[in-house]
Amino acid sequence: MSAPVVVAVVGGGASGCLAAAQLARSVAVTGRRFTILLVEPDDVGEGLAYRTRDPRHRLNVPAAKMSAFDDDPQHFLRWLRRHVAVDFPARGYAPRQFYADYLRHTLEETLRAASGVHCERVRARATDLRRHGRRLRLTLDDGTSHPVDGVVLALGHGAATTSWAPPALARSPRFVGDPWRADSQPHVPAGSDVLLVGSGLTMADMAQRWSRAGVRLHVTSRHGLLPLPHVLDPAPPLAAPELPAGPVSLAQARRLVFDHIRAAGGDWRRGVDAMRPVTAELWSRLDAAARSSFVATTMRRWDQVRHRVDPAIHAWLEQRRAEGSLVVHAAQVVDASDTAAGVEVSLSDGSRVLAAAVVNCTGAGAGVRTSHDPLVMNLLATGLATPDSLDLGFATEASGRLVAADGPRPAIWAIGPLRRGELWESTAIPEIRGQAASVARAVVAALPGPQGVRRVRDPYGLPLTASPEAAGRYVAGLGRILRVQSGAEALVAEAVAADPQFALGQAVLALLGAEWGADVDVETALRNAQRHAGRADERERRFIEVVAARIREPGGAGSAAALLSYIHAYPEDALAVSIAVPTIAFSGATELPAEAWALVEGLAAVYRDDWWYRGLLAFTRQEQERWDEAAELAALALAVEPTAGHAVHAKTHVHYETGDHEAGLAWLDAWISTCGSDSSHRAHFSWHAALHELALGDDSAIRARFSTQLAPPAVSGVRALIDSASLLWRGFAAGAWTSVELGPVLETVPAALLVDPPTPFVGLHSAVALAAVGDCRRLAQLRRSAAARSNAVFTDTVAPLADALMHLLHGDPDRATDALIALPGVERLGGSAAQREIVEDTTIYCAIQANRPDIAQSLLRTRLDRRCSPRDVHRRAQLLTSQQTGRPSPTD
């Protein structure tokens, strides 16, 4: 059975409820399995408009016109007569609290009747939305994230704007900036005045809320126009006018409206209401300049005649006005000052109001570009959404689908106020219910259907364009890569053998050949991946491009940028993340540890308690010297997956860096012989065990381990260079043996890799190995190769390192010591601190050879401050003795 399609509806007010209900209706007739993720931090059905529980706050449209469904006009009226009053009048204006209850009930009933549709309610606020392969990933403010196939944005009205308020007023405790979310209200005693700024529908609600005996209300707005009423006994509706063909100027649009009002006998209400079915079409005929001019010159007047109130509320306002308990000003707020008696507000008409409270009734802020909503900001920042020409909402297609800044259309639709710039009338229930139905049809038509063979997904949900057999082999191989186990390349090779057109598998095979040293024809595998990329999906094609860049430009800034950009788009690609983070498995995408740390830490919401991620995070924590956290994370990962290579690596480093050598050696030896028996980096873990033995001074154990676990042919190639050769040199430098025989090891390393290494980290080990065997010629070649690179780490660190080692080979350890002490950017060479410590080992060796025991013992003292090491304690004591006696410095 195929997995259900998942669509998130972000927002649970009227727009969100109607969208979810229409989605359920549209899907039910298809027989498909479908999950609706309804994301709303507050109670469903309320939103800004219907949150109030004040029975005086009424709908602004008669009950007979407030149905949730176009095809059932009496739906709300029947609900009212069933749940509120059996004789509720069709032309009555219901309290808004009942409409919130109606929306919740309607959604519940629709979902119950929709077979195969499941609705998951999530009490959280959406903060981010990103592409995730062919899907999307929705991130919430509770730290969770959800992969979804599509999203309907039903965000409702934006936050109330207070930009008009002078600073003194905005700071005043008597200022109510958001009248619908005010946690506490200023005390308003009898005999006080209250100033309501704004004179629209919000003002009508707040006037009722703040009105009480002995309190005078002041209402101020630029035009001083109160809401107009509906008529109690309206005439029959007028037919909509016929629109002219082609574009329409603003003057033509005005003339069209006025002509239609005249055709209604001068009844402006009938004329304006008749425009409603064609308003969106008329708006679409206006060009951007005409729309902008309308907003600047006509919008306020249009909103007043278009959005009217219950006649009883209008009568109440006029009565208060006649009594003098409601005073209307056609003015703007220009200044304010707090006094003991209240806040004194100066208006542009010259009047002053001493108010016990000033209530913001100006409505939602205009402009998505200036929105402080994290989701809106991130959608614009990533280009998944673009503002409409007026910046009132998002640019959308006719279906409501968002227009992206570039790239393919995202499976994101908008409904309600977010579409005002495209449709103009997009905030009232009749328009929203129509949008909900059309958006639902568009979503169902656009998202994956049940037909065809369902693609196999990797362990993190990413689909694979391959036959089931090939995908299964690949998933097994991927598991081995993530566990840092051997045999991964064989499984991936079997995958592409089963399906030669499996482009992603071909790319991964090429990658393993290039970066793991697997026995793979890298060029052929990469060509196969590129040849069959047309069959792959967008994510797979981008990954192939990333692999090609890493092979063509190893360690280059361009390939690193491509990889990080890919991870930004597809954060659940654990393989890509593994490639980007410098570990034993891959060389990484950055030489700066802090950048790698930030990458790993930024993925916490994606992977949460996943064992692989915990292991990678544990390794990050040990790099940050947060040893206890690293140990705890490694233990959690290993409890789930005992072969988790990154967790083992992290725990191994914790033991070493904290000087817990005996316990670390015992634990690591036990793991190597059991769970680690098929680790792809078993030699590296043996190297770690040997470092413990070196610190403990057990030289015979090191030799035995080298001959059985680290000597060729058991270890060869780049691993022989990094693990085997480095161990032999470090043992020699520390005095564990008197000569170093690297010849057999270096014979297994490709000659080109030694003089033209792919990464600075390999360059570090090449330089040391060539110096250890006294190969001046190839060390000079390496130096020239590094100096010619565009990568600054090669030119600034690897090349000077080679110079320093040339001084040592030429019999000048003194200059070598100075050059090594001055060597810049060692931390950018890559690898771990324990691996980069080979530079410090070499510096100490050179200082001893130069008879500069003060430098050698100073470096050892600094190291011992970091961790305990019996060998280093003994070496430092000998160096101090030689300083005191004046005898030559010992090598041990």
Q: Compute the distance between CA of residue 337 and CA of residue 168 in angstroms, rounded to an integer.
A: 6
DSSP bridge pairs for 328 = 219
Q: Compute the distance between CA of residue 756 and CA of residue 754 in angstroms, rounded to an integer.
A: 6
Residue 106 in 3-state DSSP?
helix
Q: Compute the distance between CA of residue 200 and CA of residue 360 in angstroms, rounded to an integer.
A: 11
Q: Compute the distance between CA of residue 702 and CA of residue 691 in angstroms, rounded to an integer.
A: 8
Cα torsion at 870, 871, 874, 877 (round to 10°)?
-100
pLDDT on residue 840:
97
What is the value of pTM for the model shown?
Answer: 0.54
Q: Compute the distance between CA of residue 717 and CA of residue 694 in angstroms, rounded to an integer.
A: 24
pLDDT on residue 825:
92
What would the CATH number be for the domain defined by 5-159+367-446? Answer: 3.50.50.60
What is the side-by-side strand order in the sheet with 150-153?
117-122, 34-39, 5-10, 150-153, 412-414
pLDDT on residue 451:
43
Residue 586 near residue 762, CB atoms below 8 Å: no
What Cα–Cα distance (Å) separates residue 404 from each residue in 426, 670, 869? 21, 55, 59
Q: What is the full DSSP assignment across 235-262?
A: PPPPPPPPPPSS---HHHHHHHHHHHHH
DSSP bridge pairs for 343 = 338, 355
What would the CATH number be for the domain defined by 468-681? Answer: 1.25.40.10
Tokens of 644: 């988790």
Tokens of 287: 């060009």
Which stretch of DSSP H or E encloses residue 891?
A: none
Residue 726 near residue 838, CB atoms below 8 Å: yes
Superfamily of domain 167-229+326-360: FAD/NAD(P)-binding domain (3.50.50.60)
Please, what are the averages of pLDDT over each run of 10 residues along the chain (892 residues)?
Answer: 80 93 84 87 82 86 90 91 91 91 93 88 94 87 91 87 91 91 79 94 91 91 91 78 82 86 79 81 84 85 85 94 95 94 94 95 81 91 90 87 83 91 83 89 75 70 90 94 92 95 95 86 94 87 93 81 87 92 72 82 89 94 94 95 93 95 94 85 91 95 94 90 94 91 92 92 95 96 95 94 97 97 92 92 96 94 92 91 66 48
Written as one letter, the residue type at 805 is L
DSSP 309: B
Q: Where are the domains of the chain?
A: 5-159+367-446, 167-229+326-360, 250-306, 468-681, 687-885
pLDDT on residue 474:
95
User: CATH topology of 5-159+367-446 equal to that of 167-229+326-360?
Assistant: yes
Written as one letter, the residue type at 825 is G
pLDDT on residue 591:
64
Residue 783 near residue 803, CB atoms below 8 Å: yes
Tokens of 11: 């927002």
Residue 136 near residue 412, CB atoms below 8 Å: yes
